[in-house]
A = this chain, B = another copy of it.
């Protein structure tokens, strides 16, 4: 028998409004550090809900503070949502689909899509903010509603912290955050301890010698070097790590040449690396450098490739005690059948810096966004994604098809977890 938190009372009535916010955000996605419009929507709603609002924190970040000293002994809770979208062209699945384009940091125009569902995070946190404002009698303490830019590039949380976050805003006892996944709406996944991977993104620039497509002998073909690098990088995971080491090495982008009859002088690769411990991370990074250098040497490249960091994500580690409290609260509120303890995820998330910087526990969880028919085993929704039965995060098809249930549960989860520190 589940017992919902009093903070969630009346939430269902807000759903039409939340859905409208969500659709508006979904149709108007913005790339990392370009979240101007989103920040405007957020600031307006927070102001409306009675929060003290500060914008432009760490670029386009927004912080809303609500103090509620109504006699209670509640502490201080940071609730965080991330706001940015991705350079992905959205599939044609919903009427509010994005047709937006924007110029990314590379200077290239690309379509933009909320392919990682941050629009549901923003909406859920706005819903929680509205509830907290409306139901001040049911809690005491301080809430920081943090809307972070640029999570996708691992830079937003650092930018906010570097912008004096800890000095400018109230201290907090716990940091809470969440992410929508491809899983049944209504379900939640929380893992105490190491939850998500460290992430390192690298830009590899390969230097050849350009020339005419018909005279390869006068060139050093950087596309052949780049292709050799891509294939040889596969051996890091397959040969250089133990089967029980957990790591991913992905080449997410490759780019060289414009015209078929010109052999270009350079090629660019963007790598993304996920690891769960420092030893493995160092071994992978060393192998990347070794392989990239040697494959260029194999072709007689005029100079070695350049490897430059694009961004990095810390490990995401949920505080054991705090996470167990959250799991208990979720189980009591929503039922054991919808609360799961997943295995470690090789995806990354920069949320952890809010806990680490303040020296306080943090807890991060996932909530589902899709119709449960896609998922034969709700505890392991990734199986359905792997089998092609449901879209994965970052794909052009990652458009939640159970929006109402997802927003409801996302908002309830924030309120339920927060209430543990606000009473």
In the complex the two chains form, is A215's CB within 8 Å of B347's CB? yes
A253 — which chain B residues lie within 8 A by C-beta? 223, 256-260, 264
CB neighbours of A310 from chain B (8 A): 260
- CB-CB contacts below 8 Å: A213-258 with B: 213-219, 221, 223-224, 226-258
Q: Are B242 and A211 in contact, CB atoms less than 8 angstroms apart?
A: no
* Chain B: CB-nearest residue to A107: B109
A231 CB, nearest partner CB in chain B, Å: 5
**Contact stretch, chosen from A21-29, A365-373, A392-400:** A392-400
> Are B290 and A210 in touch, CB under 8 angstroms?
no
B87 engages A242 (CB within 8 Å):
no
Chain B residues with CB below 8 A from A272, complex form: 213-214, 260-261
Given contacts A224-B239, A237-B237, contact A215 B392 (CB under 8 A): yes
Residue in B217, B229, B259, B265 whose beta carbon sits within 8 Å of that of A87 in the complex: B259
Q: For the complex, is A299 an interface residue (Cβ under 8 Å from B)?
A: yes
Contact with A394, one of B263, B267, B343 (Cβ below 8 angstroms): B263
- Let me know if B231 and A217 touch, CB within 8 A: no
Contact A347 B218 (CB under 8 A): no
| Contact call B230/A238, Cβ cutoff below 8 A | no
Contacts of A250 in B (CB 8 A): 213-214, 216, 221, 260-261, 263
Which of A45-53, A352-360, A380-388 binds B? A380-388
Q: Which residue of B lies closest to A196 (CB)?
A: B214
State A240–B216 Cα separation when bound (angstroms).
6
Q: In the complex the two chains form, what is the Cα distance from A108 to B297 in whole Å?
A: 31
B252 touches A254 (CB 8 A): no
Q: What residues of chain B lie closer than 8 Å to A347, measured between beta carbons?
A: 212, 214-215
Taken together as a complex, chains A and B put the C-alpha atoms of A367 and B145 apart, in Å, by 55
Residues of B within 8 A of A295 (CB): 294, 298
Q: Which residues from B are CB-within-8-Å of A213? A: 248, 250, 252, 272, 274, 394
Q: Are B235 and A254 in contact (CB under 8 A)?
A: no
CB distance from A306 to the nearest CB of B (A): 15
Interface: A185 (CB within 8 A): no
The verdict on A291 contacting chain B, using a C-beta distance below 8 Å, is yes
On whether A261 and B215 interact (CB within 8 A), knowing A247-B243, A290-B298, the answer reads: no
The interface residues of chain A, by DSSP majority, are classed as mixed
A152 beta carbon closer than 8 Å to chain B = yes
Any chain B CB within 8 A of the CB of A345?
yes
Question: A199 near B: Cβ within 8 Å?
Answer: yes
Q: Mark A88-112, 1 if CB is under 8 A from B, else 0.
A: 1000000000000000101010100
Are B235 and A230 in contact, with the CB atoms below 8 A? no
- The answer to whether A59 has its CB under 8 Å from any CB of chain B is no
B238 touches A237 (CB 8 A): yes
Instruction: Indicate whether A142 reaches chain B with its CB closer than 8 angstroms.
Output: no
Which B residues touch A232, using CB under 8 A? 228, 298
* CB-nearest residue of chain B to A115: B262
Complex Cα distance A259/B395, Å?
Answer: 12
Q: Let me know if A290 and B294 touch, CB within 8 A.
A: no
Cβ-defined partner of A260 (8 Å) among B238, B271, B297, B300: B271
A236 to chain B, nearest CB (A): 7
| Cross-chain contact A246 with B244 (CB below 8 angstroms) | yes
**What would be 7 A-B contacts, judged by CB atoms less than 8 Å apart?**
A152-B261, A215-B385, A216-B240, A226-B230, A244-B346, A252-B264, A294-B298
Q: What are the nearest 6 A-B pairs in CB distance?
A: A253-B257, A294-B298, A260-B270, A227-B230, A227-B227, A211-B392
Taking Cβ atoms with an 8 Å cutoff, the residues of A that contact B are: 86-88, 104, 106, 108, 110, 115-116, 152, 197, 199, 201-203, 209-219, 221, 223-224, 226-265, 267, 270-272, 274, 279, 287, 290-291, 293-295, 297-300, 302, 310, 343-348, 382-383, 385-386, 388, 391-396
